[in-house]
Amino acid sequence: MVLAIVIFAAALVVIATDKVHRTKVALVGAILVLVTQTIEQEQAIEAIDFNTIGLLAGMMLIVKLTEETGVYAYLGIRAAQISRGRPLAVVLALAVATAVLSAFLDNLTTILLMVPITFLLADTLDIDPIPLVIIEIIASNVGGTATLIGDPPNILIAGATGLSFMDFVANLAPVAAVTFVATTAVLYLFYRKRLQIAPDVRERLMEIDARRSIEDPAELRRAMPVLIGTILLFFVHKQLHVEPATVALAGATVLLLLTKTSVEKALAGIEWSTLFFFIALFVMVGALEEQGAIGKVADGIASVTDGNRTAELLGIAWTSAFASGIVDNIPFTATMIPVVEELRGPGDDAYWWCLALGACFGGNATIIGAAANVAAAGMAARAGQPISFWAFLRIGVPITILSMVIATGYIALRYL
């Protein structure tokens, strides 16, 4: 058991330092637990949740095949144009667009689509793009909390539990909506001086021809019904007795058939490094479970809380938020899932919602808290306007605390 813990802890530490790609680290960890026979190969393969992998791969394909049409750039530009260059309206438009897209794509993809457009809009309006990018990062993590497919921790939880898309919407969307309003308001007040837009430059926004961002209208007409149909299918997948992965992969397959994008190009849009990261992670967590380490952690928590449900629920939520700010929220959630499974009573799903809220909201604390944050920081650096660790931390920590206070109130009202 000690070996499994040491390998996993070492992998987490190296991932946190960001010196070596997280997928390389996780693969080394997975190979080590296999070579040392901390877990047998057959058990390791069983530990891989192919529902999660299938859902991720399917959504990546859908995003790649619809992104080619230019529809997301169109939505970003139109959202900003509706604001007519008024600062508060610009913030609201971009934040709402980011949150909604995050809920139905995923927060990392949304950030990759929205941030370049935001740089363009900020350049057009002669304002600092960084406050807008930070607002979008936070909106994407909060918006992604609302659905099963919005944020990787939720995808992991769904894969492990079989909870449906509607279960996630019913339990997480209300608190995500309230948190979105509160955090966006605070962020606007915090950054309002850096978001002053001169009245004479506001008209420039309207000069951008959003329609020209649609690169292939015919492709868009073929792809959009499939995208909308796939999202609608997520809402009823439980009634249809199909897993979310099946919905995503079916949508991706229909898009592959209907659109002009070649299979090779579409498959190149899959973030293979992310998929292998998840696979390696499942193997390492499988080794921890196999060796009884997860059971010991669960027993430890139970003895500290003395089996008190309130303490356990709030402890899971706040610990998850704190830990997700320091380490990547994906490995943290993967580790916590079997712990929560042991702690919770039969049919008590409140534990899962506390884990999801903590892991998703906690990702806002630091620039390394979630993959979306890291991607946004990378794009900002490449655009010559880096976001420093401290600049993000200064607003990320208060925003996370605010989110978790709202989440705590919600948990108390609904589950205690």
Partner 1 sequence: MSPRELGAPLVREAPLLRDDTPVEEAVRALLDADLPALPVVNGAGKLLGLFGEREFIEALFPGYLKELGYAGFVPRSIESVIEKRQTCRLEPVSKHLNREHVEVDAEFSDVGLAEAFIHHRVLVVPVVDRGRVVGVVSRSDFFAAMGELFLDR
Q: Which residues bind to partner 1, rule: CB under 8 A?
A: 67, 70, 73, 77, 115-117, 119-120, 123, 129, 207-213, 215, 379, 382-385
Amino acid, res. 172: L
To partner 1, the closest distance from the beta carbon of 110 in angstroms equals 14
* Nearest-5° Cα angle at 285, 280 to 290: 125
At its nearest, how many Å lie between partner 1 and the CB of residue 192?
Answer: 23
Query: Which residue lies nearer to partner 1 by CB, 25 or 65?
Result: 65
CB 111 within 8 A of CB 136: yes
Contact 373, 366 (CB under 8 A): yes
40 or 215: CB nearest partner 1:
215
- Which strand (E) or helix (H) includes residue 104? helix 87-104
Least distance from C-beta 384 to partner 1, angstroms? 4
CB of 231 to partner 1, least distance (A): 22
Using the minimum distance from each CB to partner 1, give the nearer residue, 213 or 333.
213
CA–CA gap between residue 68 and residue 59 (Å, rounded): 14
Nearer to partner 1, 209 or 306 (CB): 209
Cβ-based nearer residue to partner 1, 70 or 251: 70
Contact 126, 201 (CB under 8 A): yes
Nearest alpha carbon to residue 111 among 126, 128, 94: 94
Please state the closest distance from residue 326 (CB atom) to partner 1, in A: 28
Q: Which is closer to partner 1, CB of 279 or CB of 376?
A: 376
Cα–Cα dist 189/185, whole Å: 6
Q: Which is nearer to partner 1, 42 or 209 (CB)?
A: 209
With CA atoms as reference, report the closest residue to 167 among 182, 149, 179, 180.
Answer: 149
CB 335 to partner 1: min, Å: 33
Question: Please, what is the minimum distance in Å from the beta carbon of residue 175 to partner 1?
Answer: 32
CB atoms within 10 A of CB 199: 8
Q: Which residues contact 226 (CB under 8 A, 6 or more apart)?
A: 251, 254, 255, 258
Q: Are 361 and 141 in contact (CB under 8 A)?
A: yes
